[in-house]
Amino acid sequence: MTWREYHQATKHSVESLRRMRQVLDWGNMPDPFRYYEGVPVLDLPADPPVPEIPALDVLRGTSGTTPVGDGPALLSQLLFYSAAISASKRVPSTGYTYALRVNPSSGNLHPTEFHFLTRGLKGWPDGLYHYDPSRHMAEQRGRGDFELKLAGGSAPIVFVLTSIVLREAWKYGERAYRYCLHDIGHAWQALALCARAIGCRSSAEGSFLDDDVARICHLNSDEWPMLIVSLHGKSIPVHEADTGETIWVGGQANQLSKGTIAHPLIDSIHFATKLSSNGSSGSFAEPARTGSGEIKLPPPSSSTRSFGEVARMRRSALDFLGGKQSMSLAQLSAILAATAQPLSADFAGPHFIQLFLYAHRVDGLQPGIYRFLAERAELEQIRSGDQRVAAAGLSLGQDLAGNACVTFSMIGDLDRAARTYGDRGYRYVHFEAGAIGHRLYLAAEALGLGATGIGAFYDDEVHRHLNLLPNQGQVVYHFAIGYPVPDPRVSASNEPQDVTW
Ligand SMILES: Cc1cc2nc3c(=O)[nH]c(=O)nc-3n(C[C@H](O)[C@H](O)[C@H](O)COP(=O)(O)O)c2cc1C
């Protein structure tokens, strides 16, 4: 199977949804937390210092400084502001309380796991670890040098982000692979932006030999490596690396659900996008499509809300207020500027994603559809008129896409990605979409607005509505920003223990 066949086969249409109607097997809902039985568990100090730099500054590329004295404090800070539990949601119909995390996830199913390798970190033994967000602790799976070379250079901290696709497939079936890739993009930016907020540099690698990385990290067979993120920088407290031998502890991974359902399309797309030899991928990246627009965006709004506060307060809006309340063009300008910054990754040269906006309520912008020209900070109007019904309808009838002030279609140039990187490029386009989505979440939160990622849309209807020719890309993600309705189910939480899941 090629990326094209998988993408085509997992498109939503009225017909496909009718065919696919499935009943969720609640008794078999996968556990969103992975544990390893029989491994030492290392404390990450509670209440790490708040990264104080304004979130919008971090999104624009400015580095913060939050000097912490040692490795445990730095790791705690990094994970508390990128991957930890940050709120809980009580569902009255079931009485269950679910954990919500700093990084969002489609259906709150959290397929992404954070593993990390350390070398020479002050006060922290070299080794291979798995982060357990349910306790905000690190499970030590091995001590010593675990071939940090797997990510170019010798970074003192290397994260390996993995996907447990069965968690997502439990609800979303064969389309779930797309959502897992988006979630990786969100988790990557949660980590990379937090690293920047505390004065570290990060670089991501999507090109690696999948089976080698799975072997080095001793991953369970239900877990697939997706992205390697290395951290560097002077603010990382280091000493000489340990010279002792490498000791494997391992541990037994918990079983996440009683039974699993086969998803042959997911197995096939994963196989198609795997690398089994070091190819020459990425050597012929073509420039992205450009153009000129007639609407120059004004200088962006500012906000002093700290990165730490924004990262932990970020939530997905249940719905938006609709009505008359609009956002300003300067706010929209700040949000769009946050998406236009370069990404630090081996696949992130020219962007593969083009943003289309359905402007519902933006002061100074006629309702209509616009294309964002990132290099020029301009908008090009491609259709005029009220788009609220269309945006909601295209988003599988979800009202929030019409009640928002602005809704986005992210159009991915999947063909260009495939010409450049082969089938692996399919992953990269979705990582980029997730990364842009995460920047949208944080920018909206910093400006006092709310946001929601939308993975469900009628693919080909979107193409028709936007008049996109097949060679102009395909929709890969929707997103909505506006004034959120209060969500009585959610309460902020610093206590990982107070949740059922
Ligand atoms: C890739 C992705 C797709 C999503 N799709 C939808 C969607 O179609 N509709 C919706 O209401 N929320 C959607 N969400 C929001 C999730 O439901 C939300 O992230 C999750 O419930 C956790 O809540 P939190 O973001 O407040 O932590 C999506 C989130 C992500 C990351």
DSSP assignment of 349-360, as one string?
SS--EEEEEEES
Q: Is 50 exposed, middle or buried (0-12, 13-18, 19+ CB in 10 A)?
A: middle
The alpha helices in 357-423, defined as continuous H runs, are 388-394, 400-403, 414-421
Pairing of strands 252-253, 157-163: unpaired
Sign of the torsion angle spanned by Cα atoms 241, 246, 248, 249: negative
Residues with CB under 6 A from ligand 1: 100-101, 104-108, 179, 182-183, 186, 315-316, 398, 452-456
* Ligand 1 centroid to residue 336 C-alpha, Å: 20
- Residue 26 confidence (pLDDT): 86
Mean pLDDT, 10 residues at a time, the chain of 501 residues? 96 91 85 96 96 98 88 97 96 88 97 96 96 98 79 83 97 97 98 97 96 94 97 87 81 91 96 82 59 88 98 98 94 98 93 97 97 95 97 98 98 97 98 98 98 98 96 96 94 60 51
* Ligand 1 centroid to residue 55 C-alpha, Å: 21
- Residue 497 confidence (pLDDT): 44
* Ligand 1 centroid to residue 105 C-alpha, Å: 6
Residue-wise pLDDT tens digits, 190-249? 999 999 999 999 999 999 999 999 999 999 999 999 999 999 988 898 887 667 788 998
* Ligand 1 centroid to residue 479 C-alpha, Å: 10
The alpha helices in 404-458, defined as continuous H runs, are 414-421, 424-446
- Residue 232 confidence (pLDDT): 92
**Separation of alpha carbons 373 and 482, rounded Å:** 22
Q: Whose Cα sits closest to atom 20 in ligand 1?
A: 108
How far is Cα of residue 120 from the mean position of the Cα atoms in its chain?
29
Which helix (H) or strand (E) segment holds residue 201: the answer is strand 201-205
Q: Are 252 and 231 in contact (CB under 8 A)?
A: no
**Of ligand 1's atoms, which has the minimum distance to the CA of residue 437?**
31
- Residue 152 confidence (pLDDT): 54
Token pair, residue 124, equals 């922290």
End-to-end CA distance of the chain: 36
**Of ligand 1's atoms, which has the minimum distance to the CA of residue 395?**
8
Q: Are 416 and 286 in contact (CB under 8 A)?
A: yes
- Residue 4 confidence (pLDDT): 97
- Residue 286 confidence (pLDDT): 65
Sign of the torsion angle spanned by Cα atoms 270, 271, 272, 277: positive
* Ligand 1 centroid to residue 484 C-alpha, Å: 14
- Residue 282 confidence (pLDDT): 53
SS3 379: strand
- Residue 475 confidence (pLDDT): 98
Q: Whose Cα sits closest to atom 16 in ligand 1?
A: 106
- Phi, psi (deg, nearest 5) at residue 208: -155, 165
- Phi, psi (deg, nearest 5) at residue 482: -175, -155
**Separation of alpha carbons 4 and 1, rounded Å:** 8
